[in-house]
Amino acid sequence: MGKIDADVIIVGAGPAGLVVGNLLRAAGIDCLILERRSREHIENRARAGFLAANSVRVLDGNGLAGGLLENGVRHDTCAFRDERGEFELKYGELGDCEVHTVYPQQFLVTDLIAEFLARGGEIRFGAEVSSVSGTEATVIADDLLLRARYIAGCDGRHGASRRSVPARVFRRDHAISWLAILAEAPPSMSAVGYALHERGFAGHMARTPTVTRYYLEVPRGEDPETWPDERVWDELHLRMRADRHGALERGPVVERRIVDLGSHVMDTIQRGKLFLVGDAASLISPSAAKGANLALMEAEILAKALIAAHEEDDTTALDRYSAECLPRIWRAQEFSHWMIDFLHAPAGYDDEALFQRALRDARLESLRVSRAHQDFFAESYVGI
């Protein structure tokens, strides 16, 4: 195939690509990461930071959790609010269930980049990848042809890697949109908060002691610029019933964007020497905080398979990569869909809307009183 530029080329320097790269470098495997954004951009891009226990184990077990263990915050409780009051579920205290650790993704990315470079890895920032071939094990970046033994496609749903895998794609548009808000304001609750209201869903997720993520359900096609700070806070106050449960900590809104809830799963997630990881392989709604955790799970599985192929010339695990990952992806999708149905119901007062809201109330009451339901929720909420 000619001279190779790296044993493994990794397209994308998000958490998935960086974990793959770090595990490969720890095994002495030459790898090159290509990232179209600048280092400054990806180290400051605010994204989810809700890490499940298994994700923490993956990072800690591979020497990648220094910052997380020092600065991450343990979360073991979620709270649900509706017109009947507030119900807290301490899922970390149920049986053998585990907890989440909140560590904003931009901090994790910064840690992973520093460690990858310290391990002798190379990252080319600002590299525009236009083509990836799994059959030829080649990448065209900035009009240069690069060759590898294997390629890890970690460049998301719009990247060149995903377009290079002919696969059946399962899709669902949930016809639900959220206004995602990042506020320079301390958390208003010690728990993750889910508010069910006739005007729509509202969510509260702590990020740091001074930054909080909120979500507001809005009509499809809504312009985020029609939501100035005052309107955002007034609506959050109403839906989270702050007059009953305590005032929200307010602060300037530094990010507002629309998230259209949708899901897709690629089947298969590999072709030849190319393997998809993270959002390139599947997209999951943020309703259950599974996206980053799926990506880290897949990254560990792929890295171990690549190491086996490199050190033992054994491609058994690589051949089974899709078969290993897809059942876990679908289990995460199933719980994400359950959460979407649980958190949303149509507005209005026609028979359909009233019926759907009554079903939602019944689901919440079951979660409030049934230990079996609580155990199911806790296991699904934290696990993959």
Sequence-separated (6 or more) residues with CB below 8 Å from residue 84? none
Pairing type for strands 270-271 and 31-35 reads unpaired
Q: Which one from 91, 150, 194, 321 is the annotated catalytic residue?
A: 194
Place of tokens 């959790």: 65
Q: Which DSSP helix (H) or strand (E) runs through 234?
A: helix 229-239
Catalytic residue among 100, 197, 290, 344: 290
Q: Which one of the listed residues 91, 215, 321, 381 is annotated catalytic?
A: 381
SS3 at position 353: helix
* CA pair distance 17, 21, nearest whole angstrom: 6
Choose, from 15, 75, 103, 204, the residue flagged as catalytic: 75
Got the DSSP string for 271-338? ETTEEE-GGGTEE--GGGS-HHHHHHHHHHHHHHHHHHHHHH---HHHHTHHHHHHHHHHHHHHHHHH
| Residue among 91, 150, 286, 344 flagged as catalytic | 286
Q: Is residue 194 annotated as part of the catalytic site, yes or no?
A: yes
377 vs 126: CA distance, rounded Å = 42
381 flagged as catalytic: yes
Catalytic, 286? Answer yes
Active-site residues, by number, are: 75, 194, 286, 290, 381
